Chains A and B, each alone.
Chain A
């Protein structure tokens, strides 16, 4: 593996009010690889992934120590603009969250707020993003219908397309299949493997098989600590830590 480090977490501690949710997390996330974060509920995995594009700021009364670098740029530095960071690093959420607008408007939203007005450019970009998200063939004849008419799996792929239209570097998936059926889940997983050719991907998941199937690296979190981090193959076949083993073999969680 000769991929360079895209995102680096350096001694991250995170607090909700006074409760420590993350304890001294250090992870190097490699470019154009899929990194899965697994662990039982409440282990801090969603908290962690939200730090990577500063979505944590939407929640009041939190504090953080340590640093996160994206391409060697400290994203918590006072000069860093969270809006700029989120344009580079997108996020797909647990529940599909399309806007109550048309399919087209959902995908073009990110472009419009970035001040792009060129109509043909926007159209091209929307088509490209929907194609990349493997949704184009299903929606190309009804781009101007409400996005809420789509099925759950289609909505989630639409949300991915919405990211792809803007974000160029990395996409964070926060349990993207939590509310989807197995077929839709399989489609999203396929998509993730496809997207990894161009993007750095981090995926939080409850689903061990999903991590095993679709990731290159896996991090196991427990009670706010990073217990083990390594190649997915190694984590699932010969974990170093007995707690990792206990979790992946289904003895708790």
Chain B
């Protein structure tokens, strides 16, 4: 009896565990099925490198380069914000902050991660937009810079939290060894701790990027939404995610526009997938390097 019971439990939990795999495969299938038809109308090359995105014209054009560049610009900008902020705060938390400061600061940084993205978007529209507008004397403050700023702040807790983990994985004995040969704190940090934690920190940054590139609501609200080739951080852009969210509602189901949006989603999915795989490989190497279990 018990062996049958055990088998049933095993199957129930196995089903639950594998269900996420089913969802993943399902999503991939849908993305391919709904995205691929657009390549009957435009070649993949023209789709990715085409410079005009006019999906609703009577002679529609499906070049998503402006959207791809919009995503890249905003994400790169966000990295300039979240890497110094995130890695810097991780270093401070780990190396300099006392126990009390840490106990207060770390949860606060993590709370930042739990704020809904629409709230960040709102903050961007109401506070950052007029500020950028006034600062640079622009017709509108909704622009790539705005998106980068907000995304950067949003990705900071991810980067900080993972970078801090990476630092704490560095065994205490490395530090002791460094101090024992007469290194000071700064030398120990830059020459032993940072290199040892380096690939862990790189993983943190990549996952932060992955978070930024996939973020939708915020960029929809603050980047201005112009699907044109970006020329300046002070002009509106339309990242891929924003395009999908904004246009899906008005694209007739089964039409070319609809398939084009799915194809964008497919590309986005592949990009974040690659980011996550790279992050996983690096972090595995990192654990092996420090002699932790792989």
Task: Select which of B176, B182, B291 is within 8 A of A114 by beta carbon.
Answer: B182
Docked pose: A98 CA to B180 CA in angstroms = 12
Docked pose: A158 CA to B179 CA in angstroms = 16
Q: Is B183 touching A90 in the complex (CB atoms < 8 A)?
A: no
Q: A233: CB under 8 A from chain B?
A: no
Within 8 A of A (CB), among B171-217: 171, 173-184, 187, 191-192, 195-196
Task: Select which of A60, A86, A97, A101 is within 8 A of B182 by beta carbon.
Answer: A86
Q: Contacts A95-B173, A97-B171; is A86 near B191 (CB within 8 Å)?
A: no
Q: B231: CB under 8 A from chain A?
A: no
Docked pose: A93 CA to B175 CA in angstroms = 12
Within 8 A of B (CB), among A96-150: 97-101, 109-110, 112-114, 148
Docked pose: A41 CA to B235 CA in angstroms = 68
Q: Contacts A95-B173, A99-B196, A100-B289; is A110 near B179 (CB within 8 Å)?
A: no
Task: Give the chain B neighbours of A112 by CB distance below 8 A.
Answer: 191
How many positions in chain A have a CB within 8 Å of any CB in the partner chain? 29
Closest chain A residue to B286 by CB distance?
A100
Task: Give the chain A neighbours of B179 by CB distance below 8 A.
Answer: 55, 58, 86
Within 8 A of B (CB), among A76-102: 83-84, 86-87, 90-91, 93, 95, 97-101
Q: A157: CB under 8 A from chain B?
A: no
Task: Give the chain B neighbours of A91 by CB distance below 8 A.
Answer: 176, 180
Task: Select which of B176, B191, B196, B291 is within 8 A of A113 by beta carbon.
Answer: B191
Among B171, B174, B175, B181, chain A packs the most CB atoms within 10 A around the CB of: B181
Q: Contacts A100-B290, A109-B191; is A83 near B183 (CB within 8 Å)?
A: yes
Q: Is B180 touching A86 in the complex (CB atoms < 8 A)?
A: yes
Closest chain A residue to B186 by CB distance?
A113
Residues of chain A whose beta carbon lies under 8 Å from any beta carbon of chain B: 53, 55, 58, 60, 83-84, 86-87, 90-91, 93, 95, 97-101, 109-110, 112-114, 148, 159, 162-163, 165-167
